[in-house]
């Protein structure tokens, strides 16, 4: 890193305001992106980075309470009107791009007016960025909400240095081409305004390069596309986690106490999963696998418990509400089918848990059952591995996550095959402590060696190199 100022753009700002008993306070968010960006090692001499995002509060609330948000970043909210935000976020972003990029084309609900709102929102954010931009700033745009933003900024500021990172999969061309051509080309051209486009895996990167070739006729050489004046470099940057935070937390007093309570309540084998409520996370398939296990192996009845934590998410979108009902019906059915007066196979929570509870669950369980049907990376798998100071516990992981590329010592499964998952559950339930340790140690070494700080630093360093190359080519 050097002394360039960093401008970060993401859909949400990393905090929200909460009012309780008429007292307003700031609540910090703790998602993967926030942790990643906040863990950047900026030189002391570097100017304060600026974070631009869409406000989920009014301009009045911001003016009144912005003094409460006081940390190492300067925050700039963009205020969108309700209709634009709905079409932008619930509409085009989460009812078109999210399902399509996760290979759920039948869930796509495309409307021209949502695309218009998406364009309007990107334009509003672009206007704000252009207003703030200073020479030599590095711009780092995050995620599928802002695919057109690099080109919008480029059109206003041709010499800007723009990096883009996609947190979700980039699908194969056969999926992308389901979008109307005008829309597909608009999105691809948008990304091609960046100097650097980053993905979690090489596969996603290759899908993007191939889509640019097939859709726009743009060739690539060594992962770089020449787009007029701009050289667009691409790279795979698999996001990591704050390894030490999770590893050390396992010994925190609060976590130890929570873990003891859990062990006391569930003395038998404990299986655990936590996900946002989302059809991509494979919760229904996971429940099918548990049911298959209990049907086929009645010796486990009464001897295991599955703690299923589902975190509310995007509840204004119809498919998400339906998913919640489906999960709750399946939990009720399985508990009704196999449960007794003194034992239920599934403990279900529809709410988030505190950080201490999360780490206590990671470290109390015997098996982490992480089986999305598609996931860009999946940080939960890495957090589970990091938190196991005892080097015990088995990770069952879907091969359809980005994380599976790095965690080959997990029991990798296809989440759609309930019998395969049930077999692996059976294997995990009987795995010797020695085998658990061997698998865990290797995974821990890998997750620790490429943590979130390294991820962010590598991305920014690569972006800086593109800036230096551009400046050098202008001098020549
Ligand atoms: C997107 C991509 C990619 C969850 N519940 C609680 C809680 N969490 C935290 C986890 C983890 C994060 O939220 C979830 O991250 P994931 O990676 O699993 O999934 P997405 O939210 O879908 O994230 C994904 C990621 O972006 C980063 O690029 O890996 O593929 O879809 O950090 O710990 N934290 C607490 N309580 C909860 O109840 N404290």
In the predicted structure, residue 333 carries a pLDDT above the cut 80? yes
Residue 312 near ligand 1, beta carbon < 6 Å: no
Residue 34 near ligand 1, beta carbon < 6 Å: no
Indicate the burial class of 358 (C-beta count within 10 angstroms; 0-12, 13-18, 19 or more): buried
pLDDT of residue 317: 86
Please tell me which residue in 143, 275, 288, 375 is annotated as part of the active site.
Answer: 375
Could you tell me whether strands 224-227 and 230-236 are parallel, antiparallel, or unpaired per DSSP bridges? antiparallel
* Ligand 1 atom with the shortest distance to the CA of 313: 21
Tell me the β-bridge partners of 164.
141, 197
In the predicted structure, residue 253 carries a pLDDT above the cut 70? yes
Please report which confidence band the pLDDT of residue 259 belongs to, taking 50, 70 and 90 as the band edges.
very high
**β strands within 399-475, DSSP E:** 411-413
pLDDT of residue 470: 82
Compute the distance from residue 465 Cα to the ligand 1 centre, in Å: 30
Residue 115 near ligand 1, beta carbon < 6 Å: no
Tell me the β-bridge partners of 7.
50, 139
Measured CA to CA in angstroms, residue 107 lies from 77, 94, 99, 176, 370 at distances of 31, 10, 6, 14, 22
pLDDT one-digit tens code per residue, 275-293: 999 999 999 999 999 999 9
pLDDT one-digit tens code per residue, 407-447: 999 999 999 999 999 999 999 999 999 999 999 999 999 99
pLDDT one-digit tens code per residue, 176-222: 999 999 999 999 999 999 999 999 999 999 999 999 999 999 999 99
pLDDT one-digit tens code per residue, 287-312: 999 999 999 999 999 999 999 999 99
In the predicted structure, residue 476 carries a pLDDT above the cut 80? no
Of the candidates 312, 3, 276, the residue with the CA atom closest to the CA atom of residue 138: 3
Known catalytic membership, residue 220: no
pLDDT of residue 172: 98
Question: ipTM of this predicted complex?
Answer: 0.99
81 three-class SS = coil
Residue 175 near ligand 1, beta carbon < 6 Å: no
Edge-to-edge strand ranges of the sheet holding 196-199: 74-78, 50-54, 6-12, 138-142, 161-165, 196-199, 230-236, 224-227, 220-221
Known catalytic membership, residue 142: no
Question: Residue 105: left (phi > 0), alpha (psi -120 to 50), or beta?
Answer: alpha
Compute the distance from residue 127 Cα to the ligand 1 centre, in Å: 30
Residue 352 near ligand 1, beta carbon < 6 Å: yes
pLDDT of residue 45: 83
pLDDT of residue 368: 98
Residue 275: its H or E element:
strand 269-276
pLDDT one-digit tens code per residue, 261-280: 999 999 999 999 999 999 99
Please report which confidence band the pLDDT of residue 406 belongs to, taking 50, 70 and 90 as the band edges.
very high
Give me the percent of the chain exceeding a pLDDT of 70.
99
In the predicted structure, residue 315 carries a pLDDT above the cut 90? no
Residue 380 near ligand 1, beta carbon < 6 Å: yes
Compute the distance from residue 276 Cα to the ligand 1 centre, in Å: 7
pLDDT one-digit tens code per residue, 138-163: 999 999 999 999 999 999 999 999 99
Please report which confidence band the pLDDT of residue 30 belongs to, taking 50, 70 and 90 as the band edges.
low
Residue nearest to atom 39 of ligand 1 (CA): 355
In the predicted structure, residue 320 carries a pLDDT above the cut 80? yes
Residue nearest to atom 10 of ligand 1 (CA): 380
Measured CA to CA in angstroms, residue 111 lies from 35, 142, 175, 183, 321 at distances of 34, 24, 18, 11, 20
Question: Residue 475: left (phi > 0), alpha (psi -120 to 50), or beta?
Answer: alpha
Residue nearest to atom 19 of ligand 1 (CA): 378
Sequence-distant (6+) residues with CB within 8 A of 82 are none
Q: Are 413 and 396 in contact (CB under 8 A)?
A: yes
Please tell me which residue in 102, 142, 145, 167 is annotated as part of the active site.
Answer: 167
Compute the distance from residue 157 Cα to the ligand 1 centre, in Å: 34
Residue 30 near ligand 1, beta carbon < 6 Å: yes
Could you tell me whether strands 50-54 and 23-28 are parallel, antiparallel, or unpaired per DSSP bridges? unpaired
pLDDT one-digit tens code per residue, 34-87: 877 887 777 778 899 999 999 999 999 999 999 999 888 999 999 999 999 999
* Mean pLDDT value across the chain: 95
pLDDT one-digit tens code per residue, 101-146: 999 999 999 999 999 999 999 999 999 999 999 999 999 999 999 9
In the predicted structure, residue 2 carries a pLDDT above the cut 80? no
Residue nearest to atom 36 of ligand 1 (CA): 353
pLDDT of residue 46: 85
Compute the distance from residue 303 Cα to the ligand 1 centre, in Å: 30
In this prediction the pTM is 0.96
* Ligand 1 atom with the shortest distance to the CA of 375: 30
């Amino acid at each position: 890193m050097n002394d360039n100022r960093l401008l970060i753009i993401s859909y949400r700002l990393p905090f929200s305001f909460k009012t309780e008993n008429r007292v307003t306070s700031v609540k910090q968010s703790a998602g993967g992106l926030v942790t990643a960006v906040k863990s950047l090692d900026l030189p002391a001499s570097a100017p304060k980075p600026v974070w631009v995002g869409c406000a989920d509060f009014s301009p009045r609330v911001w003016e009144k309470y912005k003094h409460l948000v006081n940390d190492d970043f300067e925050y700039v909210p963009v205020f969108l009107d309700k209709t634009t935000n709905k079409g932008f976020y619930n509409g085009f972003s989460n009812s078109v791009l999210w399902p399509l990029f996760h290979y759920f084309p039948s869930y796509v609900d495309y409307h021209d007016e949502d695309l218009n709102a998406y364009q309007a929102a990107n334009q509003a954010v672009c206007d704000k960025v252009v207003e703030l931009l200073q020479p030599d700033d590095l711009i780092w745009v995050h995620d599928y909400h802002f695919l057109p933003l690099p080109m919008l900024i480029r059109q206003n500021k041709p010499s800007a240095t723009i990096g883009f990172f996609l947190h979700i999969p980039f699908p194969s061309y056969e999926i992308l081409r389901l979008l109307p051509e005008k829309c597909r080309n608009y999105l691809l051209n948008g990304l091609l305004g960046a100097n650097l486009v980053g993905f979690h895996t090489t596969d996603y990167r290759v899908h993007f390069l191939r889509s640019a070739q097939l859709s726009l006729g743009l060739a690539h050489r060594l992962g770089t596309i020449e787009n007029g004046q701009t050289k667009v470099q691409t790279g795979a940057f698999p996001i990591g986690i704050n390894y030490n935070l999770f590893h050390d937390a396992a010994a925190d007093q609060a976590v130890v106490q929570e873990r003891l309570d859990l062990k006391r309540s569930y003395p038998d084998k404990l299986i655990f999963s936590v996900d946002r409520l989302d059809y991509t996370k494979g919760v229904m398939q996971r429940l099918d696998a548990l049911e298959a296990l209990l049907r086929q192996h009645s010796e486990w009845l009464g001897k295991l418990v599955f703690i299923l934590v589902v975190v509310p998410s995007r509840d204004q979108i119809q498919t998400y509400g339906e998913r919640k009902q489906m999960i709750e019906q399946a939990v009720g059915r399985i508990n009704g089918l196999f449960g007794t007066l003194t034992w239920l196979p599934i403990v279900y929570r529809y709410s988030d848990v505190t950080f201490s509870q999360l780490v206590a669950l990671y470290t109390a369980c015997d098996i982490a059952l992480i089986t999305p049907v598609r996931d860009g990376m999946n940080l939960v798998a890495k957090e589970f591995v990091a938190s196991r100071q005892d080097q015990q516990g088995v990770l069952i992981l879907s091969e359809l996550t980005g994380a599976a590329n790095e965690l080959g010592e997990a029991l990798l499964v296809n989440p759609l095959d309930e019998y395969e998952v049930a077999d692996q559950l059976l294997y995990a339930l009987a795995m010797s402590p020695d085998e658990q340790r061997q698998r865990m140690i290797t995974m821990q070494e890998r997750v620790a060696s490429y943590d979130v700080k390294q991820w962010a630093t590598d991305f920014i360093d690569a972006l800086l190199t593109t800036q230096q190359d551009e400046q050098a080519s202008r001098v020549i």
